[in-house]
A and B are shown apart, each in its own frame.
Chain A
Amino acid sequence: MSATDTVAHGHAREVDPYLLGRGGGHGSGQAVATGRGAGGPASKTVIVAYGFWLFLLSDIVLFSCLFAAHAVLQTAIGDGPAGHELFKPTNIAIETACLLLSSFTCGMSAVACGVRSQVWTQLTLLVTGLLGVAFLVLEANDFAELVQQGFGPQRSAFLSSFFAVVGCHGLHVSAGLLWLGTMMAQIFVKGFRADILRRMLCFNLFWHVLDIIWVALFTVVYLIGEGR
């Protein structure tokens, strides 16, 4: 931290022609934007968030492969059932609501972290986790029902790709829930240390991206599949 500050202040210029720094060198903002030439290196939080963002984008690329496979195989139902015979709109709507609300409460936990409120952080994270669990339980129920009816992933190419893409998202949510639990424990035990806050930031990004993938998923797999 101190190293960053020295660099930033040591090279502070009077003029900031491109207004890269907030406040243009006056006021309480930094004189020069960090991570940009004379501004010195970017802060650790910016770098950590950027690195994690790159990972998330690669994860999105992974999902795009599964989506591409599903888009191609959506009509390859063989002697199995078509999508509109299987999907239950109410279930999908409830799952969507769970994830969207959990994304919101996750954002609230970031706000609570910002003001260093232990109670609110734990509470909002707990609600986020419970909504995530509700989502997973609903999805697992749907899967179990499909398999029981003999519509498992081995029935048709369509069902294989369906289980692959939806299951992969479900695995991500499960991993996110594990991470959420450890974040709650770390914030409780270690408090709002800078490194813990960075982890919390990454967790927030992860959870919001899961919701973004679900948006693509319920559109492509369920809603567009409904018309097939």
Chain B
Amino acid sequence: MSDNLDTGDVAAGFAEPHAYTVWQDIQGYLLGLVLATLLTVASFYVVYTHLIWAPAIPIALVVLAVAQIGVHLVFFLHLTTAPDNTNNVLALAFGVLIVALIIGGSVWIMNNLNDRMMPTMNQMMHMQR
């Protein structure tokens, strides 16, 4: 058994063989690390300071998280637009659809049910005041 890879061996997770030097490979990961660190620090900073109007913080956090997930996908998982990656990207798009349906749908339905619930004794007293 030789240690040769097939000629077309490029896929998510491994950078293209021969296309980049080792240093360029490492640079890619370093860039990813720096970007991810910046976004993480920004998330923590936003929560524990008053930089952003308080009610907007959750939205800011979601935006930062989505950006960081994007950074991970591109720099660590090497999800690209190359033809050998089309299937991976399409599968990811389907996964994102399912995840959005599950989380968005659950939150939507449960909030709606909560609104229609008969108020508790405590809440009724509160309303009368």
Contacts and interface: CB of A to CB of B under 8 A. Distances in A.
B12 A72 contact: no
Contacts of A33: 8, 83-84
Interface string B47-85: 110000010011001101100110011001100000110
B83 A20 contact: yes
Q: Is the interface of A mostly helix, strand, loop or mixed?
A: helix
Contact of A194 (B3, B12, B69, B84): B3
B15 A114 contact: yes
B29 A57 contact: no
A220 B1 CA distance: 47
B4 A50 contact: no
B12 A111 contact: no
A116 interface: yes
Contacts of B87: 35, 50
A100 B8 contact: no
Contacts, number: 183
Q: Is the interface of B mostly helix, strand, loop or mixed?
A: helix
A223 interface: yes
Given A50-B87, A72-B107, A205 B13 contact: yes
B121 interface: no
B6 A49 contact: no
A64 B14 contact: no
Interface residues of A, number: 69
A104 B69 contact: no
Contact of B13 (A101, A204, A215, A219): A204
Interface of B: 1-15, 17-18, 22, 25-26, 29-30, 32-33, 36-37, 40, 43-44, 47-48, 54, 57-58, 61-62, 64-65, 68-69, 72-73, 76-77, 83-84, 87-88, 91-92, 94-95, 98-99, 102-103, 105-107, 110
Given A35-B8, A110-B13, A226-B47, 14 more contacts: A30-B8, A42-B84, A46-B10, A50-B11, A50-B91, A53-B12, A61-B102, A71-B106, A97-B40, A104-B29, A104-B32, A107-B29, A209-B77, A216-B65
